[in-house]
Amino acid sequence: MQAWLAATVARALVGGSLGALAGLGAHTALATQKEPPLAMRCAEFAGAVLPPDLIALPSAGALIEGASMIGATAPGNQQGGEYCRITGRIKAVNASTPDIRFDLNLPRHWNGRALQVGGGGYNGVVVTGLGVMPFSPDRAPLAQGYATFGDDSGHVGDSSLAVFGLVDDAVTNFGYAHLKKTHDAALALIARAYGRPPQRMYFAGGSTGGREGYTVMQRYPDDYDGVIANSPALNFSGVRLMGVKIGQAEYATPGGFIPPALLEQVYQRTLAVCDRLDGVADGIVSDVAACREHEAEIIESLRCAGHAPSHDACLSEPQLATLAVLRDGLALPYKLAWDVTGYRGYNVFQGTHLTGALGLGHQAERLAVPTFFTNGYLFSQGNGYVRYFVTRDAGFDSLRFDPQHPGKYRAQLIALSHTIGAMNTDLARYMARGGKLITLQGLADEVISPNQTIAYRQALIDRFGVDEVDRFMRLYMVPGFQHGSGAFIPSVDLLGALDRWVTRGASPETLIATDIAAATNGRSRPLCRYPLFPRYTGKGNVNLASSFACAEPELWRSDGAGVAL
């Protein structure tokens, strides 16, 4: 915890600055006095005003709009215990900037730890911090005694809405400021509620929430003891520009659109060639490196050679070119923040199901406002980014935008990559303080390139050395796992693993994950530390993790995206 905040909290507990909170001042107790139970004090937080000096970044303070105890047997309470639910909003210095809405949950039986939970996409919806979560699937963190909190990142909308990009302060909040502001407000309230600050502060999230996890390590290393950052959108500008290039390949190039039936053909062909390379045909391409050696063979088997293209039989040259864009990634002739020069490609021909990335629409046309379902996640998100963040023109046609030669928009792209991106490898302060990091991502992720995440880890190794990186980071790349879906969807308690690492020094090694995909629910696999992957031992039940061993890829070479797998 930062020294200034520790001092502020200390003053608050003896009637200092937090005593100015409306509705709380009369109940501020001296350190020698016994505080009344949380259940008696919870409602008194309602209407309180946190002064700006409790929040390190510029703000107009925070207003607590609601506070009430939720009984253990209350309708809808699935937490397994009583807790105080606090809702509030952090006001901006500029009154025209949207508020940051936040929720904070204080369990009656507190374990002394706090967990900040990240958002997704373009955020816009308050993260409540309630219920089980992908990184804590068996029991909700709140039910385990964690104080949990989250926010909407400073605007109202949904994960696809990028209109807030027209407001500078809202972009700054989305990029990083909301994380610090909400952290500081929540920390002051936690200290007031329990009489002491948390012993441990964790952050956990996936996708945008994963980017936020890397952001807090890079920008606020003193605030956190451990981070779970899954499928992280580290190179936020890169993946959005990648989406624009994919949209141009599909909708601005004659014949470039690939209907869902053909995308299914690509997926099934990669399975036919690569599924058994890990020792067993189980619907999962685990040995991605070996599969990459068969890429040319797979492409040729999909190509329409000498006859007219069919909607469900083969791929035309423009369609193959679309897949090549996705595979090869994006190279830029200029540098974004932290010397980033592009975006790494995807494992297109190594068992990735592409319908989520490219859409489920059956017509080769772009909607005026592209949607995830019709035009795919990558293009719909990239389209909004170019319109609202980059050009600041809601009517701009993103198909006319050239990421390689952005002209007058180049400076804006670079500035945005610094505000929102999390590609800074200077984690020295976080590492020196003993901070820990766990990242899990699918090798078949069709939204956030797994190769971009791998490349970031390699950049850390280049900077600090593998031993130093291994002391604080664990990377688990999961075969068959996409962006929340896939042939294998791992269920594993990463929060427990992180907490044991931070508090007991028990570093996680191979973990065991249970598959929650509908068709194969219940089977298990080892989660191997990268670069290892699960290989079938040749005997035993193929649905049990004990029948697999973590193996090192025999083939170690650089792919088209320049990432060793």
Mean pLDDT of 30-50: 74
Judge if 311 and 419 occupy the same domain: yes
Judge if 219 and 247 occupy the same domain: no
Residue type, 146: Y
Judge if 222 and 281 occupy the same domain: no
Q: What is the pLDDT of residues 329-345, one digit of tens each?
A: 999 999 999 999 999 99
Q: Which residue has the tokens 């309470």?
A: 77
Give yes or no for a contact between 323 and 258, defined as CB atoms under 8 angstroms apart.
Answer: yes
Catalytic residue among 445, 499, 515, 559: 445
Q: Is the pLDDT of residue 9 over 80?
A: no
Residue 294 appears among annotated catalytic residues = no
Q: DSSP class of residue 173?
A: I
Q: What is the pLDDT of residue 535?
A: 97
Query: Which residue did the predictor score with more confidence, 11 or 199?
Result: 199
Rounded Cα distance between 298 and 328, Å, is: 16
First to last CA, the chain: 38
Judge if 217 and 245 occupy the same domain: no
DSSP class per residue in 385-415? IIIIIIS--TT--GGG--SSS-GGGHHHHHH
Q: Is the pLDDT of residue 13 over 70?
A: no
Query: Which residue did the predictor score with more confidence, 495 or 72?
Result: 495
Q: What is the pLDDT of residue 80?
A: 65
Q: What is the pLDDT of residues 293-337, one digit of tens each?
A: 999 999 999 999 866 655 568 999 999 999 999 999 999 999 999
Domain encompassing residue 501: 231-565
Domain boundary among 230, 260, 295: 230
3-class secondary-structure state, position 321: helix
Residue 223 appears among annotated catalytic residues = no
Q: Is the pLDDT of residue 431 over 60?
A: yes
Catalytic residue among 136, 207, 398, 524: 207
Catalytic residue among 380, 483, 547, 559: 483
Give yes or no for a contact between 515 and 524, defined as CB atoms under 8 angstroms apart.
Answer: yes
Q: Is the pLDDT of residue 355 over 90?
A: no
How many domains is the chain built from?
2
Give yes or no for a contact between 93 and 58, defined as CB atoms under 8 angstroms apart.
Answer: yes
Judge if 224 and 236 occupy the same domain: no
Q: Would the pTM of this model clear 0.95, i.e. be above it?
A: no
Q: Is the pLDDT of residue 548 over 90?
A: yes
Average pLDDT score over the chain: 90
Judge if 249 and 216 occupy the same domain: no
Judge if 87 and 97 occupy the same domain: yes
Q: What is the pLDDT of residue 36?
A: 62
Judge if 205 and 273 occupy the same domain: no
Does an H or E element contain 68, and which? strand 62-70
Give yes or no for a contact between 287 and 533, defined as CB atoms under 8 angstroms apart.
Answer: yes
Mean pLDDT of 504-520: 97
Q: What is the pLDDT of residue 524?
A: 98
Domain boundary among 199, 230, 261: 230
Residue 282 appears among annotated catalytic residues = no
Judge if 309 and 162 occupy the same domain: no
Judge if 339 and 209 occupy the same domain: no
Give yes or no for a contact between 177 and 93, defined as CB atoms under 8 angstroms apart.
Answer: no
Give yes or no for a contact between 229 and 140, defined as CB atoms under 8 angstroms apart.
Answer: no
Give yes or no for a contact between 121 and 205, defined as CB atoms under 8 angstroms apart.
Answer: no
Q: Is the pLDDT of residue 11 over 90?
A: no
Q: DSSP class of residue 552?
A: -
Mean pLDDT of 13-34: 37
Does an H or E element contain 88, and which? strand 83-90
Judge if 218 and 108 occupy the same domain: yes
Judge if 24 and 164 occupy the same domain: yes
Q: For position 147, which CATH number holds?
A: 3.40.50
Rounded Cα distance between 299 and 324, Å, is: 10
Give yes or no for a contact between 83 and 131, defined as CB atoms under 8 angstroms apart.
Answer: no
- Using CA atoms of 310, 314, 318, 320 in order, give the dihedral in degrees to the nearest 10: 160
Query: In this structure, what are the phi and psi dihedrals at residue 121, rounded to the nearest 5 degrees?
Result: 55, -130
Do the strands 100-107 and 113-117 form a parallel or antiparallel pair, or are they unpaired?
unpaired
Rounded Cα distance between 215 and 232, Å, is: 10
Q: What is the 3-state secondary structure (H, E, C) of 176-226?
A: HHHHHHHHHHHHHHHHHHHCCCCCEEEEEEECHHHHHHHHHHHHCHHHCCE
